């Protein structure tokens, strides 16, 4: 590797990789969302190919108790992926005590401390919320690790795992997982992935594991029958089609295509290019006739990412569907299943992941129904709902994001969701998840600052990204938290 896919991170990546290559063994600790799972999958594969023994552990959040648990494991080196930067002070204390030496590959806001082996796009002038995900940072490290392992090849056996085809010799094949992580972290816009992510995409395309195309920008193109694809689409709501099963079927029946084959509905992936164009044209015309603004209707088409080595018609073929599948594992305490899928298990693990996905979709649907029934409360500059124990705290943030497209919810205000949780000692706490739109971020909103500062003001802690963030606060502190958060939103958006 010369400068690598992200030249700005080349030097810290090289230092981190060399440190890992000198380790006798590594604990790989990662977050549980799609970005964290793909980060772990990338890092674990790269460590294995370099012949570095390692164990993998997942944490829902990285606090003092979680880091202490990691420190108790019998490895001298800990690699943190998709978290760690925000906990540099605690990590530094453990390093000073001789508990472990840390290597961090993260993209979240760093704390006011540092450690020697630390790579983060924010430290080199890149936006960790939109230009490089945790998985993208792990990918940069994986590319550097392949180069460092090559330099030490006579000193370390690789077990013959690094083949010379498909980008595996230099870990470029892992770019596909990095794109799944970035998409799962909501970094893809209608124009696709931007910033430092472009270097990752380009390497994946060059390695033959990824394709980038302009296509219908609806979720489920690989797996959903055409009527369900259109009925459930929330990206752009089309009168008479969205949330209308009969309307979707009638729309398809009026097009000059065969929407069925052997009595069954076809999927988007089953259509020819010409048939897809007919459907897209029909959707655009219907949207405009239904009063959808032209700018919004154009969002029906966007940049999509296909994993070329995965079977067509499966969740793993499409980056968006793959990321949702992963979210459905760790959020139900089965991060091991998501990791196994990332590592290539296409039998038992994939079957379990699909069953978890079915359950996940049902829970999301029921959670959204809770929001619709309860409605949202409005402060001066934000909106919120409290799910109590009716929505799992691990998915309430996803539900909040989905709610931004529901009638009666204002997409021009950030939305905060509260859910009940308990700490490791069994004491009640409140989980806070916040979501916003790119338009609000463009006006100056940074939810990471909002929820982080508001949480710390009431004795909790939090952080994340400008468009999506989370926190944990003591039970009973919802109202003062909301007061702080509302005032911060007002400052940021200039109202």
Per-residue pLDDT tens for 263-284?
A: 999 999 999 999 999 999 999 9
- List Cβ neighbours of 98 (8 Å cut-off, separation of 6 or more): none
Q: How confident is the model at residue 425 (pLDDT cuts 50, 70, 90)?
A: low
Say which residue the tokens 């219907």 belong to. 286
| pLDDT tens sequence across 16-33 | 999 999 999 999 999 999
Q: In this predicted structure, what is the pLDDT of residue 314?
A: 95
Taking the C-alpha atoms of residue 71 and residue 102, their distance in angstroms, rounded to an integer, is 10
Q: Range with the lowest mean pLDDT among 166-170, 215-219, 225-229? A: 166-170
Q: Which fold does the domain 7-209 belong to in CATH?
A: inorganic pyrophosphatase (n-terminal core) (3.90.1640)
Can you say whether the dihedral through the CA atoms of 55, 58, 61, 64 is positive or negative? negative
Q: Are strands 383-386 and 77-81 parallel, antiparallel or unpaired?
A: unpaired
pLDDT, residue 243, reads: 84
Provide the β-strand partners of residue 103.
Answer: 79, 117
Contact 43, 142 (CB under 8 A): yes
Overall pTM surpassing 0.85 (yes/no): yes
Residue 490 class from Cβ within 10 Å (0-12 exposed, 13-18 middle, 19+ buried)?
middle
Q: Give the model's pLDDT for residue 495.
A: 60
pLDDT digits (tens, 9 = 90+) for 289-322: 999 999 989 999 999 999 999 999 999 999 999 9
Residues 6 or more apart whose CB falls under 8 angstroms from that of 77 comprise 19, 20, 23, 24, 25, 26, 27, 100, 101, 102, 103
- Please report which residue ranges of 242-297 form alpha helices under DSSP H: 245-253, 273-289, 294-297
Find, among 143, 138, 102, 103, the residue nearest to 121 by Cα: 138
Average pLDDT, the chain: 92
pLDDT, average across residues 222-245: 90
Would you kindly state where each structural domain of the chain is located, as residue ranges? 7-209, 214-364, 375-493
Question: Over the stretch 90-140, which tens digit does the pLDDT of each residue have?
Answer: 999 999 999 999 999 999 989 888 889 999 999 999 999 899 999 999 999
The one-character DSSP state at 120 is -
Beta carbons of 146 and 210 less than 8 angstroms apart = no
Do residues 340 and 334 lie in contact, with contact meaning Cβ atoms separated by under 8 Å?
no
* pLDDT score at 162: 40
Burial grade of 349 (CB within 10 A; 0-12, 13-18, 19 or more): buried
What pLDDT does residue 168 have? 81
pLDDT interval class at 158 (50, 70, 90): very low
Predicted pLDDT of residue 408: 84
| Whether the predicted pLDDT of 411 surpasses 90 | no
Q: What is the pLDDT of residue 331?
A: 86
What's the confidence (pLDDT) of residue 2?
59
Nearest residue to 9 (alpha-carbon basis) of 150, 146, 102, 105 = 105
By the 8 A CB rule, do 462 and 432 touch? yes
Say whether pLDDT at 165 is over 70: no
Name the β-bridge partners of 35: none
Q: Please state, in angstroms and rounded to a whole number, the distance separating the CA atoms of residues 143 and 54.
A: 18
Task: Count CA within 13 A, CB hemisphere, residue 487.
Answer: 8
Arithmetic mean of pLDDT, 79-84: 97
Strand order through the sheet with 54-58:
54-58, 26-30, 77-81, 101-105, 117-119
Span 320-344, pLDDT tens digits:
999 999 999 988 999 999 999 999 9
d(CA 330, CA 349) in angstroms, rounded, equals: 13
DSSP string, 324-386: HHHHHHHTTT-HHHHHHHHTT--SHHHHHHHHHHHHHHHHHHHHHHHHHHH--EE-SS-EEEE
Cα separations in angstroms, 455 against 33, 57, 187, 465: 21, 27, 25, 15
Give residue-wise pLDDT tens across range 438-447: 889 999 999 9
> What are the structure tokens assigned to 1, written together?
């590797």
**CATH 3.40.50.2000 holds for 375-493:** no
Residues pairing with 261 in the sheet: 264
66 falls in which pLDDT band (50, 70, 90)? very high
Report the pLDDT averaged over residues 140-150: 95
Spatial separation of the C-alpha atoms in residues 97 and 178, rounded to whole Å:
34
């Amino acid at each position: 590797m010369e400068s690598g896919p992200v030249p700005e991170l080349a030097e810290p990546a090289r230092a981190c990789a060399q440190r890992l290559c000198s380790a006798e063994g590594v604990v790989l600790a990662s977050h549980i969302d799609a970005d964290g799972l793909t980060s772990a999958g990338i890092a674990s594969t790269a460590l294995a190919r370099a012949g570095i023994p390692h164990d993998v552990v997942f944490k829902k959040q990285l606090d003092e108790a979680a880091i202490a648990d990691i420190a108790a494991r019998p490895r001298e080196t800990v690699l943190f992926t998709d978290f760690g930067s925000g906990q540099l002070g605690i990590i530094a204390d453990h390093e000073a005590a001789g508990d472990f030496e840390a290597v961090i590959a993260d993209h979240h806001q760093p704390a006011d401390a540092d450690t020697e082996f630390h790579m983060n796009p924010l430290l080199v002038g890149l936006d960790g919320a939109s230009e490089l995900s945790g998985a993208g940072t792990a990918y940069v490290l994986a590319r550097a690790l392949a180069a460092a392992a090559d330099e030490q090849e006579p000193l370390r056996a690789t077990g013959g795992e690094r083949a010379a085809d498909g980008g595996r010799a230099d870990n470029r094949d892992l770019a596909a997982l990095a794109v799944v992580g970035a998409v799962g972290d909501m970094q893809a816009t209608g124009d696709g992935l931007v910033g430092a992510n472009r270097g990752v995409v380009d390497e994946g395309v060059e390695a033959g594991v990824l394709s980038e195309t302009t296509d219908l920008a609806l979720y489920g193109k690989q797996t959903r029958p055409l009527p369900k694809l259109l009925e459930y689409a929330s990206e752009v709501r089309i009168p008479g089609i969205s949330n209308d099963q009969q309307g979707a079927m009638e729309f398809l029946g009026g097009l000059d295509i065969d929407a069925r084959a052997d009595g069954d509905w076809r999927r988007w992936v089953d259509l020819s290019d010409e048939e897809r164009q007919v459907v897209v044209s029909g959707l655009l015309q219907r949207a405009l006739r239904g009063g959808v603004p032209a700018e919004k209707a154009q969002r029906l088409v966007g940049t999509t990412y296909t994993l070329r080595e995965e079977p067509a018609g499966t969740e793993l073929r499409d980056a968006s569907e793959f990321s949702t599948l992963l979210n459905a594992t760790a959020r139900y305490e089965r991060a091991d299943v998501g990791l196994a899928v990332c590592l290539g298990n296409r039998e038992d693990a994939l079957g379990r992941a699909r069953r978890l996905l079915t359950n996940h979709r049902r829970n999301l649907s029921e959670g959204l129904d809770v929001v619709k029934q309860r409605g949202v409360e409005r402060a001066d500059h934000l909106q919120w709902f409290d799910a109590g124990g009716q929505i799992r705290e691990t998915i309430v943030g996803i539900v909040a994001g989905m709610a931004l497209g529901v009638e009666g919810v204002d997409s021009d205000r950030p939305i905060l969701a509260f859910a009940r949780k308990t700490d490791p000692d069994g004491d009640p706490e409140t989980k806070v998840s916040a979501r916003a739109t790119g338009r609000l971020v463009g006006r100056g909103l940074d939810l990471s600052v909002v929820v982080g500062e508001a949480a710390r003001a009431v004795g909790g802690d939090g952080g994340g990204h400008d468009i999506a963030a989370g926190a944990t606060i003591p039970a009973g502190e919802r109202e003062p938290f909301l007061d702080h958060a509302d005032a911060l939103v007002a400052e940021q958006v200039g109202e």
